Amino acid sequence: MEEEAKILLSEEYDNSPAILSIHAGTGGTDAQDFAEMLLRMYTRWAEKKGFSVKLVDYLPGEEAGIKNAVLHIEGEWAYGLLKGEKGVHRLIRISPFDANARRHTSFASVTVIPEIEEEVEVEIRPEDLKIETMRASGHGGQHVNKTESAVRITHLPSGIVVTCQNERSQHLNKALALKILKSRLYQLEKQKLEEKKEALIGTKKEISWGNQIRSYILHPYKVIKDHRTQSECYKVEEFLDGEMDIFIRDYLLWYSKNKNKEQLNEERKN
């Protein structure tokens, strides 16, 4: 896949580190458990590829799973390989948290942005930042240490909040939080430009819970389906253990084909 990936991954930030966020959605405890399943899946995928993966932020659920988590993944073509994971993921299974063993549907959302390097100009004024420190906590809410090494930065104009607690010192957590904030602000400005462009040409893309990109069906049969590429995987356990490369390849081929089609249509209009 490596040689093929280099051909398919030609966009500006494809070879950048990735900042991947997971948020539990509709489905209560099942959704929080699903979010933790996705966190493990992406962590295992990155580890198997020999990438550096850091758990930057982690908020456990009340009963099980997680409410949200943020991973910093660094390796060759990390963002380019993971950019297709952005969207809503759906899980269908017999809930282990339902005493009546009923089938439940739950959701989790994934966002992926590239880490923006220093040469990109993004203005962050000190007076626009609210910086708070707190004790770092790990899985299950256990304190990693007794010092206030974790850092939460709120960008007041945009409302973006970044929390980092992976590093051992407050200084390192603050530096990483600022780097992630910078990337998110850059993506926000880029998104505004895209929305303005779409408004001008009369198109609008809606993102909602009904627009899941992928379904993980564990009952009454086992299969994982990607609704964009129509790819299917019946080795569900292996997939959830990080064996995702076939879906990543299929997405990159699908994305490249559609991008070329859009460029051709644009050229015809001009």
Read off the pLDDT of residues 91-141 as tens digits, 9 standing for 90 and up: 999 999 988 889 999 999 999 999 876 556 677 889 999 999 988 766 544
Q: CA angle, corner 107, sides to 110 and 241, nearest 5? A: 65
pTM for the model: 0.77
Strand partners, 153: 131, 162
Phi first, then psi, for residue 20 (nearest 5°) are -110, 125
State how far the Cα of 38 lies from the Cα of 8, in Å rounded to an integer: 25
**What is the distance between the alpha carbons of residues 20 and 142, in angstroms, rounded to a whole number?**
23
Whole-number pLDDT of residue 169 = 87
Sign of CA dihedral 46, 50, 51, 57: positive
Biggest CA pair distance of the chain: 63
CA distances from 169 to 24, 57, 227 (A): 28, 14, 43
**Residue 197: CB atoms within 10 Å:** 10
- Could you list the residue range(s) of the whole structural domain that residue 239 is in? 2-269
Give me the CATH number covering residue 85.
Answer: 3.30.70.1660
Task: Look at the alpha carbons of 75, 80, 83, 84 in this order and tell me if their dihedral is positive or negative.
Answer: negative
Average pLDDT of span 258-266: 68
Paired tokens of 186: 């850059």
pLDDT given for residue 268 in this prediction = 60
For the segment 181-204, the average pLDDT, to the nearest whole number, is: 69
| Confidence at 142, pLDDT banded by 50, 70, 90 | very low
Least confident segment among 22-31, 126-135, 192-201: 192-201
φ, ψ of residue 114 to 5 degrees: the values are -80, 150
Name residue, tokens 């089938």.
103
Distances from the Cα of 127 to the Cαs of 123, 176, 212, in angstroms? 12, 19, 39
Q: Which two tokens stand for residue 11?
A: 């966009």
What is the model's pLDDT at position 199?
55
Pairing of strands 214-217, 87-94: parallel
Count of structural domains, the chain: 1
* Confidence grade of residue 206 (pLDDT, cut at 50, 70, 90): very low
